Amino acid sequence: MKIQLSDHFTYGRLILFTLPSVAMMVFTSVYGVVDGFFVSNYVGKTQFASINLIIPFLMILGAVGFMIGAGGSALTAKTFGEGDARKANRIFSLLVYIIIGTGAVFTLLGQLLLEPVSRFLGASEDMLPNCIAYGRIILLSLVPFMLQNVFQSFLITAGKPTMGLVVTISAGVSNMLLDWLFMAVFGWGITGAAAATAIAQGVGGFVPLIYFIVPNKSSLRLCRTSIDRRVILKACTNGSSEFMTNISMSIVSMVYNFQLMNIAGEDGVSAYGIIMYINFIFIAIFIGFSIGSAPIVGFHYGAGDTDELKNLFGKSVVIIGTLGAFLTVSAELAARPLAMIFVGYDADLLEMTVQGLMICSLSFILCGFSIFGSGFFTALNNGLVSAVISFCRTLVFEIIAVLVLPLFFGIIGIWSAVVATEVLSVALTVFFFVCNRKKYGYA
């Protein structure tokens, strides 16, 4: 069944259209988990802690890709809805070229800052060489990593969500196989982990780039364009929430690591890394739904179809609420088996991880609403509201919680910070939904 952005969406059509995006995000998170599995089991928990310490810095450098992808695809979808396909392709092309240039500059900058940043983040003398070795290789694949993040959104706008899923699966399978080969067979350690990830990111970024260069049947294709500062500014504004989400998540991870190094040492950092790997598998479902539904919302907003906006909003809220309840129960039941995959060899670390995972999993019943809310306002080209939701959810609320709660509850306070954050975030999201319902006509 062919589904187009202009269609009326029933529950079935909405789920079918967003399913490739959900699967794409889940698979992306799964092969990240496989990275952690191989490093933890074949290299060691010190190296695993080292990777978790430096990853936030690497993610900050790649965050522009998420911003341009989300903000640019919303702008492009809106332009398609207005009936100007030629302009939409020029916007798409300009933003892809901007990403390539920005990625090259950030690669050089990251190489220069890698060692001082590792020391600033608290790397011990044992951890420092591992942070640098892993970071230098990953930075070489920063451009394709940013392109992969951009094309995840644009392939949906181009009406090719299934292709985005195929590319992501290909990159993921490459990463898994190379992890096994480089670490389990060749014994290359942390260098092998970085090389496997870098090659996989090359697949995820360059394959879609080639697809959009050569003649294709999609509604988007790279073409000649020109600098348009208003387009760049609008795309950045639209995608500012996704940018803030990724920057904030990285900063928050650094704060968590600081707190955990003081309270529980390397074991705390390792436990947090495992919890974040597993949490992202569950949260990826909400992120995938948000990414997949955003171009539909953007199209109907551009077309002025408020009846369909109401339909999309109502059905999305129901889907997210149902998913949230299901995922919370599933995560609670699976906490111990999932933790044993990573640290079954260390009883103390296992118990710490299970405790943290069971507390953090309570947030799944709430977080989907805030994730969808941020993406929904991005699709409506309201970057300010979207950014405020993301900024508060991923930085302000969580920083306050992770700094204050441990003063009273120790390490349990650290794990509870996620739940407290989501309670405050849902309240803020509902406030913006109510305030803007008449302006956009979605409720």
**How confident is the model over 47-59, as pLDDT tens digits?**
877 887 888 888 8
17-26, 58-67, 80-89, 237-246: range with lowest mean pLDDT: 237-246
Express each pLDDT in 365-400 by its tens digit. Answer: 999 999 999 989 888 878 789 888 988 988 899 999
The pLDDT score that the predictor gives to residue 241 is: 66
| SS3 state at 218 | coil
Question: DSSP label at 217?
Answer: S
Q: How far is CA 271 from the centre of its chain?
A: 20
pLDDT at 2 over 90: no
Which of the residue ranges 133-147, 162-176, 240-254 has the most confident prediction, judged by mean pLDDT? 133-147
Please, what is the average pLDDT of the chain?
Answer: 86
Residue 62 C-beta-side C-alpha neighbours within 13 Å? 23
The pLDDT score that the predictor gives to residue 109 is: 94
**What is the full DSSP assignment across 131-164?**
HHHHHHHHHTTHHHHHHHHHHHHHHHHTT-HHHH
- Cα-flanking dihedrals φ and ψ of residue 330, to 5°? -60, -45
pLDDT at 188 over 60: yes
